[in-house]
Structure 1
Amino acid sequence: MTQQGAAIRIVQLAKRFRGVTAVDGLSLDVPEGAVFGLLGENGAGKTTTIQVLLGLLAPDAGQTRVLGLDPSREGLAVRRRVGYVPEVPALYDWMTPAEIGWFAAGFHAEGPGGSVGYESRFNDLIRGFALPPARKIKMLSKGMRAKVSLSLALAGDPGLLILDEPTSGLDVMVRREFLEQMVDLAGSGRTVLLSSHQLAEVERVASHVALMHGGKLLLAEPLDQLRSQTFLLAITFGDRSHPVAPPDHLPMELIDAADAPRQAHWLVRARDRAACEAVRALPGVESVEIEVPTLEDIYLGYMRSRRPTPSGPPSEVHVA
């Protein structure tokens, strides 16, 4: 995926820890104004990638640009222009929200309006989130702490917001508020990079998604395109003998397959729904149901197809 106007550009990024490769030749563009969902299992390399983008880790190979800056040489400048919300916010429990906003403002003197502008925006944000400004942070709920962290990230008026599992452990209402805020940011021209295991929530707000596995990129594309070209096929055959995958002459690529007597379930990439209709002409086919999968269906299909089986190594399924 390459695109002009990228808020983030990653080219052949590699990062290793004691001989273990966490990120392996990752190339990825995040377009300006996108809500970009970065998805993958634990250990896929998502958090390592984010730490490299923030200049907190040095890459072993490759290049990255964040808002036109090189994080490996301009890490401080990147962190001043990027809002970051980690899974576990690092907040001073003995401060109040108002005090931590005043404290953080001192690090943003070079931002829009200087430290005064930062503190003013922070106070507006915590009022909007209905946070008690004078209550000690240690007395706040987990959801309130998350809102303090988001307010700190947004008060710097960032062009890019990076969220690493920001809604983990939060209740449904707080997660929804977070996500609504992300959509509002994208609507104002900001870019959001969202790493999350909440696939239904990512599907609701993301304009683009990328899928990582074992440090490698499996796919990266607009979500609408992914869903419009991915299909679940439930095929019933007249006898027990049937193909375990679409024959080569059909205009589709197999992502994942599950079989039962007289039935096959295929997750496939195809140009459009009409291309899937060709399955009906296979010998022995009695019926075919074609459904549009959810993002969770797609994610699970790609993950299953790459897990080791007892008889051999992970499947090398081609990715469109």
Structure 2
Amino acid sequence: MNAVISSEQLTMHFRGCDALRGVDLDIQPGTVFALLGENGAGKTTLIRILTGFQSPSSGSCRVCGIDPLSQPLEIRRRIGYVADQPALYDWMTVGEIGWFTASFYSDPFFDKYRESIRLYEIPEDRKIKNLSKGQRAKVALALALANDPELLILDEPTSGLDPMVRREFLESMIGRALSGRTVFLSSHQISEVERVADTIAILHDGKIRVCEPLDQLKGSMTEITISVEDPLVATPSFPEPAEILCETTSGRERQIIVKHFDAAMIEGIESSQSVVGVRVRAMSLEEIFIAYTRGSITSPESIVSSQDDSLEDHRAVETEVSP
């Protein structure tokens, strides 16, 4: 099956900033693919390249089998895009902006748009400027879906929305994937993504740290807590294929995040010098994200707070993609 999105060693260098540093992707059709990353990780830069608004410094990519560099307009005809702050004409009404956008597409566009607007219970005669943020997001989604695109790209689409609107918005993406279409969801709202995504990629410092099916990723990650008598004794080694991602020491306890841990390894750890106890537990996606992006075990509350308060290092160059 041909990939909907594929990239090889994509790099993007801005003055004083490497936004992307060798990104490889292979996204299959009929999936909800979630790209997770902190603010400034390079998510919007990657989307701009995939949609033909930005030329990469090096590397290549294809979207729906098309090169965005050579055929950017064809890419935009075949995909839908929703940003966290959709660029809509405030002076138009809900009906007028659908009629205007329909002029760029085939005849069924306007009818499908009006059907979505009725479903979202938004009056067609209301001015865009008088809509709430949640209603604006629904109008943007209706515009993006009216052409029944092969690929729907959502860049932080639920930022600032109330919980009910966020849930409705994301759950509609599951039905989209079940119909054979593909959803590319960029976000740092990890708990929401976990409910709908099939595949997870974590982008950090311009690099893809991991890209796996969600169930496979969660099944491969384990937190090990080792209690020792002597805090100066080295942490026991783990046999292959186990891989230690990070370790935190607190007194006589060692918290270790391990990938590909096997329960059969517990006996060997317990028999190691100075070890008096071993506890094992599965990890949430939020904890996995922290381990890959921070390299240490941090409370979920502190990581979310720091993400919400931070600004993107290259905000000036990561401008919003127009729908």
TM-score (norm 2): 0.88
Q: Which moved more, 1:254-263 or 1:271-280?
A: 271-280
Q: Are 1:256 and 2:250 counterparts? A: no
| Deviation of 1:58 (Å) | 1.0
Question: What residue identity is the alignment partner of 1:167?
Answer: T
Structure-2 residue corresponding to 1:45: 42
Structure-1 residue corresponding to 2:112: 121
1:11-90 → structure 2 map (5 Å cutoff): 11-90=8-87
Structure-2 residue corresponding to 1:196: 187
Structure-2 residue corresponding to 1:294: 284
Question: What residue identity is the alignment partner of 1:21?
Answer: D
1:1-320 → structure 2 map (5 Å cutoff): 4-108=1-105, 114=106, 116-244=107-235, 246-247=236-237, 249=239, 251-275=241-265, 278-305=268-295
Higher relative contact order (CA 8 A, sep 6+): 2
What is the aligned length? 297
Question: What is the CA deviation profile of residues 204-227 of structure 1, one whole-angstrom value per residue up to 9, with x for unaligned ones?
Answer: 111101111111111111111111
Question: What residue identity is the alignment partner of 2:125?
Answer: A
Contact conserved, 1:15 with 1:22, CA < 8 A, in 2? yes
Distance in 2 between residues matched to 1:29 and 1:265, nearest whole Å = 33
| Deviation of 1:275 (Å) | 4.1
State the SS of the aligned residue for 2:278: strand
| Deviation of 1:277 (Å) | 5.5
194 and 273 in structure 1: CA distance in 2 versus 1, 3 angstrom threshold: farther
Distance in 2 between residues matched to 1:211 and 1:230, nearest whole Å = 14
State the SS of the aligned residue for 2:180: coil
Gaps of 5+ in 2: 298-323
Distance in 2 between residues matched to 1:271 and 1:168, nearest whole Å = 35
| Deviation of 1:77 (Å) | 0.5
Contact conserved, 1:270 with 1:276, CA < 8 A, in 2? no
TM-score (norm 1): 0.88
Distance in 2 between residues matched to 1:181 and 1:248, nearest whole Å = 43
What's the C-alpha RMSD, in Å, of the aligned pairs? 1.7
State the SS of the aligned residue for 1:26: strand
Question: What residue identity is the alignment partner of 1:26?
Answer: V
Distance in 1 between residues matched to 2:263 and 2:154, nearest whole Å = 35
Question: What residue identity is the alignment partner of 2:227?
Answer: T
Contact conserved, 1:252 with 1:275, CA < 8 A, in 2? no
Contact conserved, 1:250 with 1:279, CA < 8 A, in 2? no
105 and 147 in structure 1: CA distance in 2 versus 1, 3 angstrom threshold: same
| Deviation of 1:266 (Å) | 0.8
Structure-1 residue corresponding to 2:312: none
Structure 1 residue runs of 4 or more that deviate by more than 6 Å after TM superposition: none
| Deviation of 1:31 (Å) | 1.2
Q: Which moved more, 1:246-255 or 1:150-159?
A: 246-255
Distance in 1 between residues matched to 2:195 and 2:279, nearest whole Å = 25
279 and 205 in structure 1: CA distance in 2 versus 1, 3 angstrom threshold: farther
| Deviation of 1:240 (Å) | 2.7
| Deviation of 1:250 (Å) | 6.0
Contact conserved, 2:226 with 2:275, CA < 8 A, in 1? yes
| Deviation of 1:251 (Å) | 4.6
State the SS of the aligned residue for 1:70: coil
Contact conserved, 2:222 with 2:261, CA < 8 A, in 1? no
| Deviation of 1:96 (Å) | 1.3
